[in-house]
Structure formats: C-alpha cells, structure tokens
Amino acid sequence: MAALFSLVLVLVTLGTGLVWLLDTFYLAPRRQQKLAFASAQTSGDLPEEARDKLVQEPWLVETSKSIFPVIAFVLVLRSFLWEPFQIPSGSMMPTLLVGDFILVNKHEYGLRDPVFRAKFWENNDPQRGDIIVFKYPKDTRVDYIKRVIGLPGDRVVYRNKTLYLQPKCEAGVAKCPGLEPVQSVEVNRDEFFQNGSPLMRLSEDLAGVDHDILINPRHPEPLRYYYKQPGRQAGDWVVPEGSYFVMGDNRDNSTDGRFWGFVPEENLVGKATGIWISFEFDRDRSSVLPTWVPTGVRFSRIGGID
C-alpha cells in the first residue's frame, strides 16, 4: 500500500507539473496571441467579458497549478525527509503501543528514489538499538518496525528467553569479543498482560542502548519455528554482510528475524525518532461507535523514542 501511494504521488506530481509547464511555455502565450488578435480586429474595443474568456485558464490547468505546489511539497517531505507511520500491533510494546503515530527519518540511512528505491545518497548505517522501519523481506509491499539487534558480521543467539550477542571481530583487533548475554533487570510484571498472563517487563542494555522489553514467562520458546541459517543451530545466527538482524521488544509476541531471517540493507526505509500523537482505544467499551474510533489521547507519550 505504501509503495502504491508513493507511485501515485509521483505520477500526480509529474502530471500536474507537466501541465503547469505546458501552460507556461505554450498554452498561455497562445491565449495572449488570441487576445491580441481579437483586440486588433475590434480596434481595442473588445468587451471585458470576451477578454476574460480568451485568457481564462482551462479547468485542468487551473487545478494543476493549484495542487502542484502542495503535492510536490508532500512528495519531497514524505520521500526524503520524514514520513508518518501508525503502530498497528503490539510487537514493539512497551516502547511503542497500538495507537502511536510515529515520525520516521527517511534520510538517516541515505536517500532512495520513491518508486524504484535506488539509493542515490549515502548517509549513516543502522546501529544496535535503533528502531527501524523496513520493507518486510517476505513481502516488500508491507512495512515492518523492529529494533536492530545484530549488525553485519555479528553473531546473535536467542535461547531460553535470553539474548546473547557477539559483535563482529574487526580486522587488526588482537582479541575478538566473545559471546556474552545481553544484560537485563526486571522492572515489573503486572503492567501488561497477554491472554490473561502477566508479562515480565525488563530493562535491557543492548551495547549501551537502554530500553525495555516484555517477556511472557509462560510462553514456550518456539525453537522449531525459528529461521534456521544453513550450518547453524536453531536460535543461532550470524548476520550476513549488507544485512541486519531485528527483533520486537515484545519478545513473545513479535514475528521478527528469529522467524524469517535478515533485513537486507536495500529494504531499509528509515529510523523511528518520535511519537507525534498517540490515541487510546478501549476495545471493551459499551458504545455504538466502532472500536477503531479513539477514546482518548495519550499526551504523555508524545516525544522522542528510546
């Protein structure tokens, strides 16, 4: 849907822009020539109503000139600067909640054309702990949002609800880092629930990036469903060059890299940087209004994303 909208936006911008140029360099001068000819034929006594009719812009030209600046501004803003996204699921709880509307920095990881997504300007690379929006590798028509866990060359292990990380051994380093558990401490376990079970909220330190995650202690680890990288055991991955390993903060309610593999660099859309509005939805309310109508605004959530 996002790709289709981008294509439509580009086509509308090009179409209205071409109509504007056509009118400026061809149609408008022809209208002026007709006006001059008509004025000469009537010795300058051409009625004002007739003058207005001769120089009047066609409906298509008038409409195109009215909407082109707006559409062009939206295209540039959405394609190269910032794009709003809505959080549709709880896979990134507690960091992001259903009803959060976030802003994604489209130029953080370089710029791509909005149709073919060919990169034409390099910028920064994703870092561990970044929350990124990307094209789902199994269906690039769908946008996903997850947290970067592993960079190219990193070894990532997830077993028994514990995340282990071994950063890539850089060339020239005398001693390579080993596989170490990512440190976490419990915060609470009665704030969030899943199917009636209380979730454990932990504060996790991912290479210096502190953030909270959720664990369901009663949820069995689905090792048999994990993506099995050739030559490695289930739950043990080495991130290929040019790719990233991502996971949701709601560890037992997230379809992420553990199940389908890695995010290629060309699938990156941008970095989530802030919440600009957050709506609250009460699914259990007794009201004639549909459940998708918000019941309130969570003003306390507006701001930057950890």
Same-domain pairing of 247 and 198: yes
Q: Are both 64 and 94 inside the same structural domain?
A: no
The tally of domains found in the chain comes to: 2
Question: Distance between CA 278 and CA 102 in Å, rounded?
Answer: 9
| Residues assigned a catalytic role | 91, 146
Average pLDDT estimate for 10-36: 90
Residues 269, 233 share a domain: yes
Whether residues 173 and 119 share a domain: the answer is: yes
The reply to whether 240 and 288 lie within a common domain is: yes
Digit-coded pLDDT (tens) for 197-230: 899 999 999 989 999 999 999 889 999 999 999 9
pLDDT digits (tens, 9 = 90+) for 77-110: 888 899 999 998 999 999 999 999 999 999 999 9
Instruction: Provide the residue range defining the domain that includes 216.
Output: 87-304
CA gyration radius for the chain? 27
Q: Which residues neighbour 215 within 8 Å (Cβ) at sequence distance 6 or greater? A: 161, 199, 200, 202, 251, 252
Residue 170, domain CATH: 2.10.109.10
Closest CA relative to residue 95, chosen from 217, 205, 201: 201
CA distance 144 to 135: 6
Residues 31 and 130 in one domain: no
Is the same domain home to 165 and 296?
yes
What is the Cα–Cα distance from 258 to 226, expressed in whole angstroms? 5
Enter the pTM of the model: 0.86
